[in-house]
Amino acid sequence: MAEGAIDPQDLGERLVGAGADEVERAAEAALRPKKLDDFVGQRVVRDQLSLVLQASLRRDAAPDHVLLSGPPGLGKTTLAMIIAAELGTALRVTSGPAIQHAGDLAAVLSSLEEGEVLFIDEIHRLARPAEELLYVAMEDFRVDVVVGKGAGASAIPLALPPFTVVGATTRSGLLPAPLRDRFGFTGHLDFYEADELERVILRSAGLLGVEIRHEAAHEIAGRSRGTPRIANRLLRRVRDWAQVRGDGTLDLRAARAALEVYEVDPIGLDRLDRAVLEALCRRFGGGPVGLTTLAMTVGEESDTVETVAEPYLVREGLVARTARGRVATASAWEHLGLEPPEGAWAPGAPSSGTGSASRTLFDEV
């Protein structure tokens, strides 16, 4: 990751951010499904993974190494825990940033017992020496322990019992090909549909011991940006509102009132998202405008706008990234309750489109 870039895992302070800090992960732990049959959504990955696990159990052998990719908050860590539970074995948890030296990884690998699952979160952030050690360990179940220094150093091969690596990454394109090729199964997790998130919310509400109406679950699901982590977070905030200002029941009124307090609008945009749209439409006539200028206008760093706000705005078709800068689409104008000007950018427009503005603001795109 480039110096100064924002780690998605550090974005948990946003109510609609898909990242999570340690407190957030602790709150999620009680809501995680323990079995593959209880895991909602991701039907294709779930069915494929079920075959891999059942086949390994019948052969009484460790399954192939598993790579799970996709945006944060969709269930990669949960699936890793489910894999270990389905195999009836222990789960060792570490992360790429925590392993900066080959010796760190060697210590973890040498302590594994037969059949155990090693979960490496953000595996694309492994240090290169650790990556190279992992290649051999995954393929040959062996690590070479270096003894001594300089010309007198020697490598002693240490055999490892069969084990399974489950790697999770939010940026699969950064994985080196040799590491990617050592995974026997690769599953990509996609954003959830609203009905799937509604099922997640109803299940979580039951585990939290709160009563929720279906229309409230539907409302929360529609504002959750296709991400179960955000859905569960919004559910807890609605529960807070219902217990403090309501009668304890999570109905449609409570859901709408709570999410209004927390500035999450009907399609899941928060303050920063709306600030970007307001700047594009009201200040710059729809664009195009460069990233630096846009960030300065909303009072944020360029990395924050690009990493935090843009992905969802682009995915929802509210903002487009063109060769000349960011432009607001007709949908963005309509979402703000404004009349789209003639010539407002729409999907399919030329990549150098100018939106409704006659001027171009040149800076970093």
Any long-range contacts for 240-246 (C-beta under 8 Å, 24+ apart)?
A: 242/210
Ligand-binding annotation for 73, yes or no, is yes
Ligand-binding annotation for 229, yes or no, is yes
Ligand-binding annotation for 164, yes or no, is no
Catalytic residue (one of 77, 169, 227, 322): 77
Catalytic residue (one of 46, 121, 169, 293): 121
Catalytic residue (one of 46, 76, 92, 125): 76
Ligand-binding annotation for 78, yes or no, is yes
Catalytic residue (one of 125, 225, 229, 233): 229
Ligand-binding annotation for 139, yes or no, is yes
Distance of CA 129 to the CA centre of its chain: 26
The whole-angstrom separation of Cα 51 and Cα 117 is: 17
Is 149 one of the annotated active-site residues of the chain?
Answer: no
Ligand-binding annotation for 76, yes or no, is yes
Is 76 one of the annotated active-site residues of the chain?
Answer: yes
Residue 329 DSSP class: B
Radius of gyration of the chain (CA): 24
Ligand-binding annotation for 192, yes or no, is yes
Q: Is 249 helix (H, G, I), strand (E, B) or coil?
A: coil
Catalytic residue (one of 92, 125, 169, 170): 170
Locate all alpha helices (DSSP H) within the chain, ordered by sequence: 22-29, 43-59, 76-87, 102-110, 128-140, 177-180, 194-208, 214-222, 228-245, 252-261, 271-278, 291-298, 302-304, 310-315, 330-335
Is 170 one of the annotated active-site residues of the chain?
Answer: yes
The whole-angstrom separation of Cα 236 and Cα 107 is: 39
Q: Tokens 């992992």 map to which residue?
A: 134
Sign of CA dihedral 193, 257, 277, 19: negative
Q: Which residues lie below 8 Å from residue 88, measured CB to CB, with a gap of 6+?
A: none
The residues carrying an active-site annotation are 76-77, 121, 170, 229
Going by the annotation, the residues of the binding site for ATP are 31-32, 73, 76-78, 139-141, 182, 192, 229
Summarize the annotated binding site for Mg(2+) as residue ranges: 77
Annotation: binding site for DNA? 321, 326
Residues contributing to the annotated binding site? 31-32, 73, 76-78, 139-141, 182, 192, 229, 321, 326
